[in-house]
Amino acid sequence: MTRVLAALALCLLAACSTVPRTAGGGDTALRPDAGGMAVAGSDQRIDFGRAEDGVIAAATRVLGAPPVSRAVNPECGAGPTTIVKYDRIDLLFLDGTFRGWVTDDPRTAAANGLSPGVTRAQLEAGGYGPFETTTLGVEFEANGVFGLLPDGAPDTPVQLLWAGTSCFFR
């Protein structure tokens, strides 16, 4: 009976949380954040500043699949950027060093609980903002993780989340 009551208490606490829920469950093994990526269920991290080969090996091991593609974009503002694409997340490297990530997949939740698909209304209810209209759309920042909405309507879902170096043209 004690276990049932404890489980019920945990469920009630989760229901009262003010952090927006992830749109698609955020079931990925990597939890991207402002400093790189945490490995879900452990104290391990893949932080910005690590060597490309090691990051790709670690991410492949954690995700259980190799990258889908690898390309270099020579026109990024920060300089030629290598973009390594996995099923749910892209990793960005400058000069062989992990510098950023970007995701548009609702199944990928950042460590702060946000995922693409969360609406502006959910962000505001969670205390996130301010929101700034840019040439890309409506941008916001949440604990070092940045996001993009196509417009400012309350029911508009987040299209992208990213941290670190990005390759967006404004």
Residue 170 lies in a domain: no
The per-residue pLDDT for 56 is 98
The token pair at 160 is 């992208």
The per-residue pLDDT for 4 is 32
Question: ω before 157 within 30° of 0 (cis)?
Answer: no
**DSSP-derived 3-state class of residue 103:** strand
**Residue 105, number of CB atoms within 10 A of its CB:** 20
| CA dist., res. 149 & res. 116, Å (int) | 9
The per-residue pLDDT for 1 is 34
CATH at 48 = 2.60.460
How many domains is the chain partitioned into structurally? 1
- 10-residue stretch averages of pLDDT, the chain, 170 residues long: 32 34 55 95 95 97 95 94 96 98 94 91 90 94 93 94 88
The per-residue pLDDT for 15 is 33
DSSP state of 46: E
Domain enclosing residue 132, as ranges:
21-164
